[in-house]
Amino acid sequence: MTDRADRGTTWNFSQNNPLGPGQDDVPALLRRVASSIERLGRVDVQDVVFHEELSDDGTPWPSLRVYYHPAGSASVRSPLRRGASRAHGARRRRGVRRGRGGAPKGG
């Protein structure tokens, strides 16, 4: 484990299931997040935070926020940041919210 002071930038992303049937399926959400972490390559995950909102129809809509950095190095650019200039709502509907640093975007 690396000393936190030497890690540089901490990246984060938030992910949920798509809105609609199955949006409240926590095991499916965990699988989606695990797949996203694997696509990042070698990273050190610092924290995972569970959050639950309600969709407009009152159905639970859980999400997970993952804080990470590349294994053994200080990150300058996150692989998930490519094309991340879309509005928060568009990313949310697609099932992934992305952010940089310690300031989470949205709920």
Q: Which two tokens stand for residue 2?
A: 């690396």
With pLDDT > 90 as the criterion, what percentage of the chain qualifies?
56
Quickly state the pLDDT bin for 78 (edges 50, 70, 90): low
Whether the per-residue pLDDT at 48 is higher than 50: the answer is yes
- The answer to whether the CB of 98 falls within 8 A of the CB of 66 is no
**Per-domain residue ranges of the chain:** 9-76+86-95
Whether the per-residue pLDDT at 4 is higher than 60: the answer is no
Comparison of pLDDT for 78 and 41, the residue scoring more: 41
pLDDT of residue 17: 97
- The answer to whether the CB of 19 falls within 8 A of the CB of 61 is yes
Which contacts (CB < 8 Å, 24+ apart) does range 25-28 have?
26/62
Residue range 48-64: mean pLDDT, rounded? 96
Whether the per-residue pLDDT at 81 is higher than 90: the answer is no
Least confident range from 76-80, 84-88, 93-97: namely 84-88
Mean of all residue pLDDT scores within the chain: 75
pLDDT of residue 18: 96
